[in-house]
Amino acid sequence: MGPPPVVADVRRAVRHALDDLEPGALVLVACSGGADSLALAAGLGFVAPRAGLRAGLLTVDHALQDGSADQAAEVVRLAAGLGLDPAEALDVRVGVSGGPEAAAREARYAALSRAAGRLGAAVVLLGHTRDDQAETVLLRLARGSGTRSLAGMPARAGLYRRPLLDLGRETTVAACAALGLSPWDDPHNLDPRYTRVRVRERLLPALEEELGPGIAEALARTAALCRDDADALDGWADAAYARAVVSDSALSDIGAVAVAVAELKDLPAAVRRRVLRRAAIETGAPPGTLAASHVLQVDRLVTGWKGQRRVEVPGGIGVVRRYGTLIFARQSVSPFS
């Protein structure tokens, strides 16, 4: 007799996420001890040896609550029973930039990336589920985000893979129960000071009550559709950017980018603004702080040109229109002030 269906679902998702790896590759799972990542760790421990892969575990101690070091040590102890070796607890210092959630996330990913590099891992698995995807879409929708942002979390992004994005949280909880595993309930996951917790505990249940069941699934489908659209628009924008960039050695020497207005003005707004965003980022604008409002101001230099002065965007970047080109340059070195 095979495993319970929920356990089989998790294992199948892990197997699919790893099907392109070479034999002997090391796969690490980021595990907090919660139901999602614990079910994922168990799935990896089962799948990896059968796929000819090595498997290990990383857990991150954010040191944000009493007993966090003990909890991290307990997760490491669980690893051997799941067939995961190496297993390490990573200590991090969480800053304050961007708020507590963003700061913890930044510290966590930095620690995971360093450990993966040190251990020679091919992939790090993350335990985000369909419910996490739904929460992400709602959070970004509230910020007025565009198509790419509403696409939510990708199943694969560089080093990281999220095998469980098509499974609900109820599946991981049931899988842990079927395997006799006792997940840790992080108190932070019930703390209403965190925006994501309020979305999870208040907003999504309210939507389910008012609109009917299946909200998380619908939001996850929306993310997938947005990702398809965003991928197509990004491909179009890449080709348009290549045509629009003006080759100029003097500008290149100071790290500036120039794009031809004539190549931009007839593009659809969604494509044109992607080109402008890329030009700003290529010049040094931080992607995380380059908002749609900044790109819209730059866009007006193309669509509503009336001799405006320089537009400023994050990263100390200035954008000016000169002789049919938009010039993006750091203001400290720009000759176009």
Please give the pLDDT value at position 304: 93
Residue whose tokens read 């001799």: 307
Going by pLDDT thresholds of 50, 70 and 90, the confidence category of residue 192 is: confident
By three-state DSSP, how is residue 82 classified? coil
Residue position matching structure tokens 């949280």: 169
Pinpoint the residues of the chain covered by CATH 3.40.50.620. Answer: 5-224
Fold designation for 245-330? 3.30.465
Query: What three-state secondary structure class fits 125?
Result: strand
Q: Are 163 and 13 in contact (CB under 8 A)?
A: yes
Task: Return the CATH architecture of domain 5-224.
Answer: 3-Layer(aba) Sandwich (3.40)
DSSP per-residue string spanning 212-270: -S-HHHHHHHHHHHHHHHHHHHHHHHHHHHHHHBPP-HHHHHTT-EEEEGGGTTTS-HH
Q: Is the pLDDT of residue 109 over 50?
A: yes
In tens, the pLDDT along 39-74 reads 999 999 999 999 999 999 999 988 777 778 889 999
Q: What is the pLDDT of residues 262-303, one digit of tens each?
A: 999 999 999 999 999 999 999 999 887 888 889 999 999 999
Q: What is the pLDDT of residue 132?
A: 94
Q: Where in the chain is the domain with CATH 3.30.465.60?
A: 245-330
